């Protein structure tokens, strides 16, 4: 099930404005699957060279991931603030250290799928997955930029949606989005 907001809402990350606040703000680390948590544990030593000392210390103290009482997994935080995998550029902008390791060829995974998909959140149920747009005030500049560029959420996260659900699924979503938009723009035509 896909929220209409993925089609209706425009969105393009504007790192010049937000400085990667999604890696710093919030009350918890990035959601992880069990497989991603294990992968992080297995690859921590390959990722650490791309992290600041504070992130490395947080990983050494807390582990490569946090296993919550609910059974879910997430990335650890540095002193309750940024994700332990966050790297800060000289201009203060936050970037993913896992992605830095990926771009350098040190690891084969770009970043956790929950981060790659953002602002899309996926809730898996036994019979289906709910694919929703997550509204967060820190991303208001991304909505403005997306509107000016006319890029809907589902197009902005195309690569991540294909990574999560596959090319056929994304192609079908694109057809549904075109039909949906056409019906909204021309309600008298059938």
Q: Are 16 and 85 in the same domain?
A: no
- On whether residue 136 sits in a domain, the answer given is yes
Q: Are 116 and 137 in the same domain?
A: yes
Are the C-beta atoms of 12 and 140 separated by less than 8 Å?
no
- On whether residue 189 sits in a domain, the answer given is no
Count of structural domains within the chain: 2
- On whether residue 25 sits in a domain, the answer given is no
For residue 67, the SS3 value is strand
Average pLDDT over residues 120-141: 90
pLDDT of residue 19: 92
Q: Are 117 and 97 in the same domain?
A: no
DSSP-H helix ranges across the chain: 5-8, 15-18, 34-47, 53-62, 97-103, 113-117, 140-149, 153-156, 158-165, 167-185
Closest by CA to 6, choosing from 160, 101, 131, 124, is 131
Contacts of 126 (CB under 8 A, 6+ apart): none
Q: How far apart are CA 140 and CA 27, in angstroms?
A: 19
Closest by CA to 55, choosing from 19, 14, 101, is 101
Segment 59-70, tens digit of pLDDT: 999 999 999 999
- Domain around 143: 1-20+112-184
Are the C-beta atoms of 23 and 138 separated by less than 8 Å?
no
pLDDT of residue 40: 97
Segment 102-129, tens digit of pLDDT: 999 999 999 999 999 999 999 888 888 8
Are the C-beta atoms of 104 and 96 separated by less than 8 Å?
no
When pLDDT is cut at 50, 70 and 90, the band that residue 189 belongs to is low
């Amino acid at each position: 099930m896909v929220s209409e907001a993925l089609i209706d809402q425009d969105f393009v990350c504007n790192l010049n404005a937000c400085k990667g606040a999604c890696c710093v703000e919030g009350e918890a680390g990035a959601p992880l699957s069990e497989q991603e948590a294990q992968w992080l544990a297995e690859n921590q030593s390959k990722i650490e060279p791309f992290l600041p000392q504070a992130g490395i210390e947080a990983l050494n103290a807390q582990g490569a991931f946090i296993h919550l009482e609910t059974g879910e997994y997430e990335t650890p935080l540095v002193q309750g603030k940024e994700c332990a995998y966050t790297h800060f550029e000289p201009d203060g902008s936050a970037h993913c250290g896992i992605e830095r390791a990926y771009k350098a060829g040190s690891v084969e995974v770009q970043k956790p799928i929950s981060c790659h998909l953002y602002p899309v959140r996926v809730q898996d149920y036994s019979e289906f997955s709910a694919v929703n747009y997550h509204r967060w005030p820190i991303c208001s500049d991304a909505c403005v930029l997306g509107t000016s560029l006319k890029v809907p959420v589902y197009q902005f996260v195309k690569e991540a949606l294909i990574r999560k659900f596959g090319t056929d699924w994304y192609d079908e979503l694109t057809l549904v989005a075109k039909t949906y938009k056409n019906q909204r723009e021309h309600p008298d035509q059938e």
